[in-house]
């Protein structure tokens, strides 16, 4: 598994973790502890997404801004069987 695939996998796992924490926080909005966990993992996830978007292709439109070239279309399309 090369760096690109590893990063994609890690971002996916972080997304999963952030969603799990948000589901818990939906029913426990005042739980400071859980909020800190959420902030922590959400920051790491965003940072990794930015880094991935800089190195390979933007994962979200938010990360598509670039001073070189427009890379938003560079992402592989879902039916191209890349996101295995």
Partner 1 sequence: MQDYKFDEHCEQFPVAMAYVPWQRFNGIYEDLEKAYRIGTIFPELNKPFTGGRCVQ
Task: Rank residues 14 and 58 by Cβ distance to partner 1 and give the closer one.
Answer: 14
The CA distance from 35 to 41, in Å, is: 10
Judged by CB under 8 A, the residue of 17, 64, 71, 72 near partner 1 is: 17
Q: Does residue 14 belong to the site contacting partner 1 (CB under 8 A)? A: yes
> CA Rg, the chain, in Å?
15
| 46 lies in the site for partner 1, by CB under 8 A | no
The whole-angstrom separation of Cα 50 and Cα 60 is: 9
Using CB under 8 A, pick the residue from 4, 28, 43, 60 that binds partner 1: 28
Judged by CB under 8 A, the number of residues near partner 1 is 14
Q: How far is CA 75 from the centre of its chain?
A: 14
């Amino acid at each position: 598994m090369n760096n690109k695939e590893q990063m994609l996998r890690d971002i996916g796992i972080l997304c999963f973790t952030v969603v799990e924490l948000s589901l818990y926080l939906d029913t426990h909005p005042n739980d400071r502890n859980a909020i800190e966990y959420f902030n922590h993992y959400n920051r790491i996830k965003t940072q990794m997404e930015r880094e991935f978007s800089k190195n390979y292709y933007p994962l979200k439109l938010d990360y598509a801004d670039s001073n070189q070239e427009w890379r938003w279309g560079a992402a592989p399309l879902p039916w191209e069987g890349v996101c295995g």
